[in-house]
A and B are shown apart, each in its own frame.
Chain A
Amino acid sequence: MTGPARVDVEGWGWRYAGRKLPATRGIDLVVEPGERVLLLGASGAGKSTLLAGIAGLLGGSDEGERTGRILVDGVAPEAQRGRIGLVLQDPEAGIVLSKVGDDVAFGCENLGIPAEQIPARVSEALASVGLATPLERSTKALSGGQKQRLALAGVLAMRPGLLLLDEPTANLDPDGVSEVRAAVEAVVAREGTTLVLIEHRTAVWADLMTRVVVLAPGGGVLADGPPDEVFARHGDALAAAGVWVPGRPVDLPVLAPVRDTDAVLSTRALSVAREKRTVVASGLDLVVPAGAGTVVTGPNGVGKSTLALTLAGLLPEAAGEVVTEASLAARGVRRPSRWRSTELLTRIGTVFQQPEHQFLAPTLRDELAVGPRALRMPATQVDAIVDELLERLDLASLALANPFTLSGGQKRRLSVATVLAASPEVIVLDEPTFGQDRRGWAELVLLLQREIERGRSVVAVTHDADVVRHLGQHRIALEPAA
């Protein structure tokens, strides 16, 4: 069967094995061939579960319990591999093999396409997503946007009638976002492929979509209709549920730009590198103003994260130096990379891109206590700090939960809280708003603005124009080396 696919969802629901409540239930939905549906809903409403269900990837009865049914072109999706293409949020997740050409061919091989037809399909799929890299290119060497387009090409080579995209641009820089959006647009315009897409950041996709479906948190469909109509009628509810509704900016103050303030950190002829031999940026003479928000922007691969880790004293300078203001010196040393770990703790705190990387303890309480205990504070003081943070960051009800079991927004807040526990003068954050919905985003930015008001200096590496707007009192734009 070829051409755009039709999807019938009839009274469908799914409960994951081991969970008391269903992830979603009672969903009735018909997607006509060629429709382009934006699927919205609060975090936890079961959007991704529904998408995986339509893709036929939820597994059998040992994985969970199904009610109702889903049909694609009148047949169970499990029997329709290749008719349905799925692209996920994490650019790493969609890639299977180590060379571009092999990876695109992978799906075709699995579908039993004769070997002599595969090269043509591969080059056609790569051309349709605008990826002009050699087939031999290592998939590791691609940027985030290129990886997502590769994942899309791998799916398109199977010639699907239905494309399912689960936040395909959430982890990309602005260039990557527009690359992926353009590739998807070109495909649906040419093939008329049916499209179902999940995305919090609706502005990127809204004008491409013919229909918006909003899932209700307890199950069922909350709203369904043309984008303008749904946004007009349910805008407030959607915004409250964490969706970025077009034309409704977040109601937060914009901090005034700073000039001529003292620098808490400054760099001289700085070169940064993750490993000694691979310098990613050099000749940097920068300042981080004290008691203000600084944002670092620039395209992927320009060395933003490496710069952040170097400013934070975690990576040694490859050349040149990072120097702090005199009052921050430890044992008379003003270079953070030369400090001891415990000296760093009270001076510069780092929030990593993936919160999991910095979690060390089995409960939230213990996690927050790690820093204060490393500083050998008395138990009563540790408790006081932990309690205050749990309360302030709205995590008190989860005090005994394991950090790994939290939602994305909660993990992000906890990772910031672990840093605040040691009261550092400077807080460095790497892509703090990646993958956050509107609510998580606003909570985080507000929290950082409060810290700036308290006199802290905040440095955030970001692609997010709204973060730049709300925290960018001082802006550092890194340019690729000529």
Chain B
Amino acid sequence: MSGVDTGGAGAGSDVRSAWLDRINPVTKVVIVLVLAAPLLVSIDAVSAATALLLELLCVPLTGLAYATVLRRLVPVLVFAPVAAMSMLLYARPGGTVYGTFLFATVSDDSIALSVAVFVRVIALALPMILLFAHTDPTELADALAQVARLPSRFVLGVLAGARTVGLFVDDWRTMSLAHRARGLGDRGAVRRFFSMAFVLLVFAVRRGTTLATAMEARGFGADIERTWARPSTLSGWDAVTLGGAVALVAVALGAAVLTGAFRVVGT
């Protein structure tokens, strides 16, 4: 009986031994750029659809379940039709025109463009979800400072500051309750929002000051060369993965060119 339980728990939990877990966070940033750049300058449906298909095939390498990926894509799936709809109505008309209303025109060209934009938005968002779903902020900061050589004061300052965001969420919740307790919860939502935002600002300044003191008290910003308890390095895995990303982009663009669908923004 216990054997069954253990098996179930192991299969259900996030296992951190996927291909992607060996990749340095800086490489992930570069990969996102590699995947995004061609999709931002081209604007046909084939290149985006091919990229999207190949990205979906890569999901097992990230250690994420397809269901998880789908759940994280929900906001994108909500946004993408909005972008597609504006293209459908307001893109430059071309080919057969199916209808016109004020400035809106639906034509062959605008339909094609709207499909292309829809697929493209998803193809752009998916790599970010796949690559950063498992990336720990501290790991990212280590990599940005050690591998990308960003200034450590800046990186650690942002990292430490980001930790306090959760506290502000709690503050906000408590202040909402306080407004109800003080008889102001029934109306005036807009005014309430601004008065709470102001108080939050006061808290932010105060927290920032204490945080700076706490960091300084622990030697942060001294003139000593800082060491890193968690060394962040690149390996062969990073090169191979980056190569894979470049290949993915090449295949996507190649498919568009071969089918004659390839189109650059502005043409």
**What residues make up the interface of A, taking CB atoms closer than 8 Å to B?**
52, 55, 57, 81-82, 84-86, 88, 90, 92-99, 102, 105-115, 118-119, 122, 139-140, 151, 154-155, 158, 274, 309, 312, 314-315, 340-342, 344-345, 349-350, 352, 354, 356-360, 370-371, 374-375, 404, 418-419, 422
Contacts and interface: CB of A to CB of B under 8 A. Distances in A.
A396 B229 CA distance: 55
Interface of B: 137-138, 159-160, 163, 166-167, 171, 173-175, 177-186, 195, 199, 202-203, 210-211, 213-222, 224-231
Given A81-B224, A371-B183, 14 more contacts: A81-B222, A82-B219, A94-B214, A96-B211, A96-B220, A97-B160, A99-B138, A106-B218, A107-B219, A110-B222, A122-B229, A154-B218, A312-B181, A374-B183
B229 A115 contact: yes
B154 to A, nearest CB: 15
A109 B183 contact: no
Given A102-B230, A345-B183, A359 B199 contact: yes
A357 B213 contact: no
Contacts of A350: 177-178, 181
A184 B185 CA distance: 45
A341 B185 contact: yes
A119 to B, nearest CB: 7
Nearest to B180: A341
A81 B210 contact: no
Contact of A358 (B181, B186, B222, B231): B181
Contact of A111 (B211, B215, B219, B231): B219
8 contacts: A90-B210, A96-B218, A97-B160, A98-B138, A108-B227, A118-B227, A345-B181, A350-B178
Contacts of B171: 357
A312 B178 CA distance: 11
Q: Which 4 A-B pairs have the closest CB atoms?
A: A341-B185, A374-B183, A110-B219, A345-B183
A357 B178 contact: yes
Given A88-B210, A97-B138, A110-B220, A418 B182 contact: yes
Contacts of B163: 95-98, 139
A95 B211 CA distance: 8
B183 A370 contact: yes
A360 B184 contact: yes
Contacts of B159: 97
Contact of A93 (B180, B202, B210): B210
B167 A92 contact: yes
A111 B224 contact: yes
B180 to A, nearest CB: 5
A340 B182 contact: no
Nearest to B195: A360
A55 B195 CA distance: 37
A315 B218 CA distance: 39
B7 to A, nearest CB: 24
B219 A57 contact: no
Nearest to B224: A112
A404 B201 CA distance: 13
B229 A422 contact: no
B175 A357 contact: yes
